[in-house]
Amino acid sequence: MKAVVMAGGEGSRLRPLTVQRPKPMVPVANKPILAHIVELLRRHQFTDIRATLHYLGDDIRSHFADGAEFGVRISYSVEESPMGTAGSVKLCEEFVGQEPFLVISGDALTDIDLAAATAFHKQRGALATLVLTRVENPLEYGIVVTDDEGRIQRFLEKPSWGEVFSDTVNSGIYILEPEVLRYIEPGRAVDFSQDVFPVLLKKKAPLFGFVSSGYWCDVGNIGAYRMAHDHVLEGLVQVDVDGRRINDVWMGRDVVIDATAEIRGPAIIGDNCRIGPGARILGYTVLGSNCIVEEQATIQRSIVWHGVFVGRGAHVSGAILGQQVAVDRGCVIGEGAVVGDRSVLRQGAKVAPQVKVWPNKVVEAGARVNMSVIWGSAWHESLFRDRGVSGLTNVEMTPEFAVRLAAAFGTYLGKGTVVTTSRDEHPASRMILRSLIVGFLTVGTSVQDLRSTPLTIARRAVPVLGAAGGVHVRVDPRDPSSTLVELLDHRGINVHRSAERKIESLFFREEFRRTPAEEVGRLDFPARVLESYTEAFFDFIDAPRIARRRFKIVVDYAYGRLSMVVPGLLARLGCEVIALHPYPDPRRAPRSREDRARMLVELGQAVAMLGADLGALIDDDGERLFLVDEQGRTVSEEILLALMTRIALEGRPSGSTVGVPVSAPSIVDQIAAERGAQVLRTKHEARALMHLAAAHRDNMVIAGNTQGGFIFPAFHPTQDALVALARVLMALADGGRLSELVAQVPDFYLQEQAIECPWEYKGRVMRLLAREAGTAREAEYIDGIKMFYDRGWVLALPDASEPVFHLIAEGKSRSDVEELIGRYATRIQELQKKGA
């Protein structure tokens, strides 16, 4: 008798195990499920087999070939589109011929006596015999009711408990006469249990059910997959397990086990496995072939596919690891977790119970994964980057992620607190913001939603509204495919690193405060936020003085939200404004220095052509200002910092302070010293500059960097391009020109270069650079390593988000700068190769 094996299943409920393989190729006891079916068929003399293929069928064809290696003959029928159980068998009509034949699923584990079922079929003179089995929970299966002779009386597909009249279900194994195929319409999807058998039943055809006492398990989900392994190890299903059995452990060929390792059955250890000193393989564990378990590692009640590496001291409990997964030393994988093929868990990573990691993912060292990683390439050690929390939109930064992030932040802020929420114009930002609002409300944090509001205005609204913190959502300025969420403290400044660590801990441990219904947070929409900002703006500047000059300005809004605010304010300053890119579109905003340089060239052309007094580019949601003089020439960021420092200190009493990052040029110190002011330096990031400005708000007149960010602490300790532009206009109000102010800044030479450096080498490079810093006249460690020499200084700064070092150097001449940059660029490349 011939057999048709249905092997086209996709196995969606078994993902991520079936993301890159068809369901019949998922291994049970180190063999594909389909291999167990082929062995069952051979034992019962079914040696002529046709396999129906659809999803990733080439994997099955390449593994089984013509079947000779398995003692059978296998041919294949390929479905271009799913044809259903009956439709796929209809395609095999020529193969089965005029004799009875067997149909069996290729993705269920069974040892049912097929010979007995065949004899029953012949004895009853059946047109079709369904092999039935009894299950504890029949809700997911098709119930079949038979009489005492085995004739089928009734079918019931996936009943409710109120409809359960039997525990006898359809196993998907059939013995059929070829006449059955006449009831299958060719060329369309047809199912045996839903379409063909009910028709035969109505026609009172001889339709019988053979109730088997053998084992049968539909390996349809992760739980059933685990249970099937337990049953194999307990001997409840009769299948062939490769290897030599020693007590209750099956041992493959060429296995090497250290004398101090502990092996406790029941267990299966595949060919060529290596078990290290002190390692523990505990009961109900299956190791595939070519696995390496290093010293002191523990694996218990887990299914480990072939080629897996488990590092020293790692602990895997009740998990499933796909093929060629790498688990580095000290990792912990919890009960019910599934890690897909070729994923890498780096040192100390932890995967929480029930979490699923899809194939080819990288979990960074020390990371705690407590939600499934489906898309994206990596799960990072830290939630936060230099600007906030960023992730690929609707891939890493999902609504579910946002709810949990807000719940963690709200829990950190405390019961009954209020936060502000704001966003840019992008639809994805709106989606994420609404999810954040839900997260806050669930933990009892009330929300003042500012909706679409420029970041500079949203920052100032936090203390004005008396909020404990805030969040702002926007397209990540560095990556238009990502969404950035910035968490703000009670002053509107990005939260401190120490706060980030606490929020991160709450997020990963899921220690969110839960509130009863009466304590759920409130959602309100505050009024007059823009009016409040406008009043403070005009209180801070000398508007009449600017208005008397009647400036003509070209403003490039860089597709930012501030384009909806600035025209009205500049009009009140008596300015004639020509606008470029004057509408919000986060998708078109500049993303790189190159984008911005191109826009500045266009801005300069417009200024020169129109005879304007200057041009201003307002970037990064209103936080950064770049200028073009009246001749259309771009003012470099370094010179602009020096110029803004000079403007801010003009007329100020001695004893004032100026804040700059460690990377700022020394010309700032010179300008400050000439005016009796002190310079305070901080870390390179914008957040550090804001915290410095807030800490010295009483006497700090300006804080700025070489990326166009300027803070006037007396107005607010956050970057604000509009306030900075107004201060420039005040400096020019008495008739001066921007080019003349620029010309008064002494010459200086500053250069920056990025040097690639893999993450794993950054620590080594920093350690060796610090050791060599003694050759410099002086070294400073505010952020990175800044080394001073007679003719200049060089700063080696590892990037917080990218695998690069930033080299920033200043010298007395261009050649001095180039020499310093070149020397340390070469040195960083050498130190990457240097041993400890």
Output the pLDDT for position 163.
Answer: 43
* For residue 540, pLDDT beyond 90: yes
State the CATH architecture for 242-379.
3 Solenoid (2.160)
Q: If pLDDT is split at 50, 70 and 90, which confidence band does 832 have? A: confident
CA distance 564 to 288: 62
Parts of the chain belonging to CATH 3.30.310.50: 749-833
Does domain 389-527 fall under CATH 3.90.226.10? My reply is no
Average pLDDT value for residue range 749-763: 85
Does domain 532-743 fall under CATH 2.60.40.10? My reply is no
CATH of domain 2-218: 3.90.550.10
Parts of the chain belonging to CATH 2.160.10.10: 242-379
Instruction: Rank 160-169, 189-198, 310-319 by mean pLDDT and report only the highest.
Output: 310-319
Mean model confidence pLDDT for the chain: 90
Output the pLDDT for position 503.
Answer: 93
CA distance 634 to 607: 11
- Whether 794 and 807 have beta carbons less than 8 Å apart is answered as yes
In CATH terms, 749-833 corresponds, of 3.40.630.10, 3.30.310.50, 3.30.70.1520, 3.30.110.70, to: 3.30.310.50
Give SS3 for 641. Answer: helix
In degrees to the nearest 10, what's the CA dihedral of 721, 723, 726, 731?
-100
Q: If pLDDT is split at 50, 70 and 90, which confidence band does 141 have? A: low
Output the pLDDT for position 387.
Answer: 83
* For residue 763, pLDDT beyond 80: no
Average pLDDT value for residue range 137-145: 67
Output the pLDDT for position 158.
Answer: 54
Q: pLDDT per residue over 37-73, tens digit each?
A: 999 999 999 999 999 998 888 889 989 999 998 999 9
- Report helix angle 57-64 to 33-43, nearest 10: 50
CA distance 374 to 356: 8
774 compared with 88, residue with greater pLDDT: 88
CA distance 22 to 107: 9
Q: How many CB atoms lie within 10 A of CB 582?
A: 18
CA distance 184 to 90: 7
Average pLDDT value for residue range 135-163: 69
CA distance 294 to 282: 15
Q: pLDDT per residue over 295-304, tens digit each?
A: 999 999 999 9
- Report helix angle 497-509 to 399-413, nearest 10: 120
CA distance 591 to 309: 40
Q: In what order do the strands lie in the sheet with 244-246?
A: 244-246, 249-251, 267-269, 285-287, 303-304, 320-321, 338-339, 356-357
* For residue 249, pLDDT beyond 80: yes
DSSP code of 151?
Answer: B
CA distance 44 to 360: 40
Q: pLDDT per residue over 725-749, tens digit each?
A: 999 999 999 889 999 999 999 989 9
Q: pLDDT per residue over 585-625, tens digit each?
A: 877 888 888 899 999 999 999 999 999 999 999 988 899 99
Output the pLDDT for position 375.
Answer: 58
Instruction: Supply the pTM of this predicted model.
Output: 0.68
Q: If pLDDT is split at 50, 70 and 90, which confidence band does 136 have? A: low
* For residue 159, pLDDT beyond 60: no
Parts of the chain belonging to CATH 3.90.550.10: 2-218
Instruction: Tell me the sheet residues that pair with 609.
Output: none
Average pLDDT value for residue range 230-251: 92
CA distance 723 to 712: 8
Q: pLDDT per residue over 355-376, tens digit each?
A: 999 888 888 887 888 877 765 5
406 token code pair: 């807000």
* For residue 161, pLDDT beyond 80: no
* For residue 224, pLDDT beyond 80: yes
* For residue 398, pLDDT beyond 90: no
Least confident of 53-57, 320-324, 622-626, 688-692: 53-57
Owner of token pair 């839960």:
514
Average pLDDT value for residue range 528-543: 94
Give SS3 for 157. Answer: strand
Question: What kind and span of H or E run contains 299?
Answer: strand 298-300
* For residue 451, pLDDT beyond 90: yes
Output the pLDDT for position 189.
Answer: 86
Residue 403, C-beta contacts closer than 8 angstroms, at least 6 positions apart: 435, 436, 438, 439, 442
Rg of the Cα atoms in the chain: 35
